[in-house]
Every structure is written in C-alpha cells, then in structure tokens.
Structure 1
Amino acid sequence: MKVMFSKFSLLLIAAVLLLSGCGAAGSTNGANTVGAQADSGSAASSEPSVSPAAGETEAKKLQVVTTFYPMYEFSKQVGGEYADVTALIPAGTEPHDWEPSAKDMAVLKEADVFVYNGIVEGWAEQALDSAANEKRIVVEASSSIELAEGGEDEHAHGEEAHSDADAEHDHAAEHEEAEHEEAEHEEAGHEHDHEHSLDPHVWLSPKLAQAEVAAIQEAFAKADPAHADSYKANADAYIAKLKELDDAYKAGLAGMKRTEFVTQHAAFGYLAREYGLTQVPISGLSPDQEPSPEQMAEIVKLAKEQQIKTIFFETLVDPKIASTIASEIGAKTAVLNPLEGLTEEETADGLDYIGVMKNNLEALRLALNE
C-alpha cells in the first residue's frame, strides 16, 4: 500500500544531511515528550554507560521508535529495563494527520525496532522506504487482527427507517459502485481507498490490545534474543492486566439502561462490539471528517428518541460540534478518551493506558445508566 505525500519530496534532502549526525536516542520535535515524562530511564546519548559498582560497560539498550501513545505505552511495558522507547508523535498531538519531519526520519533510520499500529500512520510505508535500514525490525501491531470496515454498524439505529428491501437495494448499489470504482482507479489508489475505510482503533478494545502487545513482544525477542525471556515475562504480566481490564468492562457494562452512546468520532467501534454497545459517531474514522447537516439531524433525532443525556467529546479535538448537539437536546458533555495521545495534564496526573481506560469505563457506565 503506497501512500505518497508531497511533503516527503521536500524532506528527503534534509534527512540525508541529518542522518549522519542524528541517533535514535535524540529528541525530535518534542517526540520524546511522552517518553521523557513517563520513562526517566531513557538514554540521552548512544554512548554506553559504566556501572560505578561493577566498573563494566553496560550493554546498549534496544532502541525502539514508536508512533503514537498506545504503541509507546505497549512497547515500554514490554521493553522494561532493556529498551529505550521513543514516541515520534509528541504528547497532546492528534495523530491522524501528523507527518514526520526530517529529524523524525533520521531517528527512524537508526531504530533497532519500529512499532506502529497500522492505517493511522498513512506515512509509515514510504518513511520506512526512505529511511532504509536492513537491520531494523518493523512491527505493525494490528497485523494479526482482522480489521473491520469503518462504520459497518455505527448507525444500526437507522434500521427502523429502512425495510429489508431498501437494505438489499442499498447493498446492490454499493456493490455496483465498488465495481465501477475498481475499473476506473489504478490498483494502488484503490488499495489506498480500501485502507482508509478500515477501522484502525483496535487498541481501544482491551481484548484486541492483548494481540498488539504479543506482536510487539515477538519483535523485541527477534531484535534482542539475549533478553527474549524478559520481554516475554513483561508482556505476559501486562497482558494479565489487560485481561483484568477486559473483565472489568464485561462486568461494568452489563445490564445498562441503554446501549447507544454518542461520541465525537468513530473510534470506539471495536469496544462497542466487544461489550454489546452501539457507537453513534458524530464524525468518521478521522476526527476531522465533519458530519453533514443530515447526519447531525439524524444524531439529534436518535438522541432525543433514546433520551440520551450525555454527548462524548475527546481531549485532542475541538468539542464544538459535540457541544452543539448537546445544547440542541439539552444534554451535557463528558470525555470519552480515544487514547490517541495523552495531554500534558493527563501525563502530570500519572495517567496511563489502563488508567484512562478505567476512566472511560466509568464515563460509559454513568452515561448508559442515565
């Protein structure tokens, strides 16, 4: 899947000049903001340190470069004391439209392991080609997970407005349109369109997050066989915590008064399906996809019919549209965090993936029981 960005053509010359002087442990455009706050053990230099007690040079840590927060957190949990983990996308940055700078490309080139989710990072494949490194191990953490088409059940509330005949007609029309597009577009472009229709937000399901952690562990063991047992132990311990989180969601979301919840963008499809809920997103898979007036009217209508009293917004996106809908129906707003990045305040409060997910569970429980 080749995705071309004009920005790269301007960056590559600068990247070549930087590659000789930039190592993976360097700070990049604030990209180490999360790592510096959450992992005080990250090295600032590639030079080995000397233990005062033993007087022996310590082995160089595994240099791991990740994309956005969940990939950083999962990698840090698996790597433990044997890996320096860096996040390219700075804390507080919405990752869907982020692109790497020349310095980021230099950091990527020097990485022992590169961890990305997939789909969210549309720039990743070309960046890897441009910052080539034969020894680097690349892990697409979601690769073992069957991704769902975005929005495939997001508007299940619309079933009442469509008869079975209408649905069959719509399906036939969609099939005909897909065939027409396939005939007109080049294979690469068609593949790109298909990729953008897939929902990448698997990390928001505690169950699917376990598969991502396992994929990261396998990559670390391959890159650093000497510490494979430690990576496996770390991954097993963290997966146990994710299983506890999954159990908490199953118990906590059972027997709610309603199952529908309105959220800022379509990030919670996997979580909703896992626990028998229905996500009603205001915008699409990317938060910058603004809804049409017809979609807004449909959401308002549903919210009134279901007596929904909370409209969820997220911390890294302008909540204006969510607030508008809430005002229209006399509801309040609350945060449902898609964990695409932590804010400085969340980091200062010591929140991490599991902490935020527990907050999300409590927010859902309150909203679904109103």
Structure 2
Amino acid sequence: MTLSSRRSTPRPAARSRRALASLSVAAAVVAGAAACGSDAPGSGSGGSAEGAVVTSFYPVEFATQQIAGGTVPVTVLTKPGAEPHDLELAPQDVGSMTQARLVIYSDGFQPAVDDAIGQVDPSRVLDVADAAQLTLTAAEEEGHDHADESHGDHAAHSGDDPHFWLDPKRYAAVAQAIAARLGADDPTHAATYTASAKAFVAKLDALDAEFAKGLASCDSKVVVTSHAAFGYLSQRYGLEQHGISGLSPEAEPSAAGLQEISNLVRSEKVSTIFQETLVEPKFAQTVATSTGATLATLDPVEGITTESAGTDYFEVMRSNLAALQKGLGCK
C-alpha cells in the first residue's frame, strides 16, 4: 500500500497549515533568485545553498555529515530545538531546496517538506524511507485506544512510523543509501564516501551491540513514553512500547486513554514514565502522578539542543540506554 493511499482527511488546523505551506512554496518560486542568496537554513553554515546537500532534520543531517566528511557542505531545514514534526518552511527554505545539489529527506515524517519536495528536480532528491524499511504502522503502534482520533498533521500524513534512526540497524541502512547516492553523484569522491559510511556503520553496529547486551535481562520490558517514537527500538531489543500520545506528539490523549495507560502502568508494575526533551511533558507527568511512577527522560534524538544529554546522536543514544536500564531494572 502506498503512502498516499493511507492518508486521511486532515483536521481544519492541519488544512490551514497545509495551505500556508503551499503559499510558502509559491512565494519561493516567485522569490527564487532572492532565496539563492539567502543564508542556508538550520545548520548555521551561511551562504548560498547552491552546491550544498540540504537535509530535512537532524538524524539525516548527522549521517550525511559523517559520510560527506566536509567534502560537500551539508545544511538542515529543521533548526536545533524545533519539533521536526511541526516544521514550517519559509520561502527561503524552499528556495534552498530548489537550489541544492541534493535534498535528502524521509517521506511521511514532515508534511511541510513533503509538500515542498514537489518543487525540487526529482533527479536531485533522495528519499531514505525505503532504505529505512518503515515496517511499523500507526495502527500497530497505537493498538489500544488511548489517544484522540485526530493524531495531528504527522500521523494524518502517513500511516508509517518514521523513527528509523532509533534502531541502529535501520539507521545504518539509511547511511549506506546516502553514501551510495553521494558516490553516484560525485564519482571523484565515491571512495571517500564509501569509507566514511563503513566507519559510521561500524559505530552503529557497536551501539547496537551495547543496546542488545544492556537490555537483555530486565525486570520489565514495558516502556511507557510521551509519544510512540520508540517502536523500532523496542522491536529491535524485545521491549513493549506504549505511547501516551501515539505517533504524533501533537495528539492529546482522551481522559479514557489516560486512564487506560494508568491502568496498564499499575497492572504491569511500571516504575518509570519516560518524557521527552521536545514534547510537552504534562501528560507524562499526569500518568506518573496518578500511578506513583518516576519520571525519566528518553530522547527520540530528533534534534540536539542544550537540553540534550550529549552533543551528538551517539552520546544521546547511550544516555537513552542508561535511562532504559535504570527505568526497566536491567541487570
């Protein structure tokens, strides 16, 4: 089944934002020349986006930087500290995409990027969703009726769980796809891209081994999180995820949904509720308060900020491992 066939009718607010995004795209086309001279978005590396690789959000940016190794400039559309699901593109952002040598994104994760990608020459676009093997769907992640049916723009846009990077093996497959594409576009540096990707994948393999060993023997396998971002991680390491707000961090759980989660926490003797860095913590706090559970932080690594428990993907993921080991009582 295709992504488009799984789309549902957006809420009025979603339609309004979608209309604004379309206006931004139109404005970018009119103001294209001005956009070419504007600062590149997100990463802070100013200058024209022409000749740069534009990435959609942090995990894609990080992998591309590790593989490119400074050979080509890499910029990112989602600024540090912004919730990537809610990204709204300015005309200059769309202009940067149209002028880039390559745009790398994951279809179905950021509606604004999905809308704008149609303005980019298809020969200069890499969608990593296929390489990521997005096998989990919203229905599988939200098997119990804990959230309001209007799941927000992100979940309404696609039925797939997009959080592939939280599974090091899926992230490695994406990295290899990026390296292959960079090498095909720039054969002169293909060997460099291949070697860098090999080194990056080796780090991901080591991280995978740490998670597998660290989560092999735990008192509990039930992970209750602010939103269902950890499906692939849970699947990889034999955990059972329950997201309070489903796949979309914008979705607000119903009173019945909160009660259902609270009942699960009590029945499964869950001792820790995991909140996130970029998501409103009030619902996680509500469940923790009503059940007597402890709050801890589990970072979906959608962006690195001063609040992150590390300066890059690997540091934050190892902090996540430590949080899971403590919260689940792992030996």
Query: Is the TM-score greater than 0.5?
Result: yes
- Cα distance 1:251–1:62, how it changes in 2: closer, same or farther (>3 A)? farther
Q: Which residue does the alignment assign to 1:147?
A: 135
* Aligned AA (2:138): G
SS of the residue corresponding to residue 230 of structure 1 reads helix
The answer to whether 1:356 aligns with 2:316 is yes
Q: Say if 2:107 and 2:114, in contact at 8 Å, map to a contact too.
A: no
CA–CA separation in structure 2 for the residues paired with 1:341 and 1:251: 26
* Aligned AA (2:24): L
Q: Which residue does the alignment assign to 1:304?
A: 266
* Deviation of 1:240 (Å): 0.3
* Aligned AA (1:139): L
Q: Which residue does the alignment assign to 1:369?
A: 329
* Deviation of 1:137 (Å): 2.1
TM-score (normalised: structure 2):
0.86
Q: Say if 1:263 and 1:282, in contact at 8 Å, map to a contact too.
A: yes
1:1-370 to 2 correspondence within 5 Å?
Answer: 5-23=18-36, 26-27=38-39, 31-32=41-42, 35-36=43-44, 42=45, 44-45=46-47, 63-130=52-119, 132-133=120-121, 137-144=124-131, 145-152=133-140, 196-346=158-308, 351-369=311-329
**Cα displacement string for residues 147-202 of structure 1 (whole angstroms, at most 9, x for unaligned residues):** 2112415558x9xxxxxxxxxxxxxxxxxxxxxxxxxxxxxxxxx98862211111
* Aligned AA (2:55): T
Q: Say if 2:54 and 2:75, in contact at 8 Å, map to a contact too.
A: yes
Deviates more, 1:115-124 or 1:355-364: 115-124
CA–CA separation in structure 2 for the residues paired with 1:151 and 1:369: 29
- Cα distance 1:196–1:330, how it changes in 2: closer, same or farther (>3 A)? same
Q: Identity across aligned pairs (percent)?
A: 37
Q: Say if 2:223 and 2:273, in contact at 8 Å, map to a contact too.
A: yes
CA–CA separation in structure 2 for the residues paired with 1:86 and 1:303: 41
Gaps of 5+ in 1: 37-41, 48-60, 159-191
CA–CA separation in structure 2 for the residues paired with 1:118 and 1:245: 26
CA–CA separation in structure 1 for the residues paired with 2:242 and 2:136: 16
Q: Say if 2:21 and 2:112, in contact at 8 Å, map to a contact too.
A: no
* Deviation of 1:319 (Å): 0.2
* Deviation of 1:14 (Å): 2.7
CA–CA separation in structure 1 for the residues paired with 2:35 and 2:113: 19
Q: Say if 1:147 and 1:200, in contact at 8 Å, map to a contact too.
A: no
CA–CA separation in structure 2 for the residues paired with 1:360 and 1:77: 21
CA–CA separation in structure 2 for the residues paired with 1:123 and 1:299: 31
Aligned-residue CA RMSD in angstroms? 2.6
* Aligned AA (1:250): A
Q: Say if 1:137 and 1:223, in contact at 8 Å, map to a contact too.
A: no
**Cα displacement string for residues 190-220 of structure 1 (whole angstroms, at most 9, x for unaligned residues):** xx98862211111110111111111111111
* Deviation of 1:11 (Å): 2.1
**Cα displacement string for residues 105-158 of structure 1 (whole angstroms, at most 9, x for unaligned residues):** 11101111111122112233431222x336x521111213142112415558x9
- Larger radius of gyration, structure 1 or 2? 1
CA–CA separation in structure 2 for the residues paired with 1:322 and 1:8: 31
- Cα distance 1:45–1:74, how it changes in 2: closer, same or farther (>3 A)? same
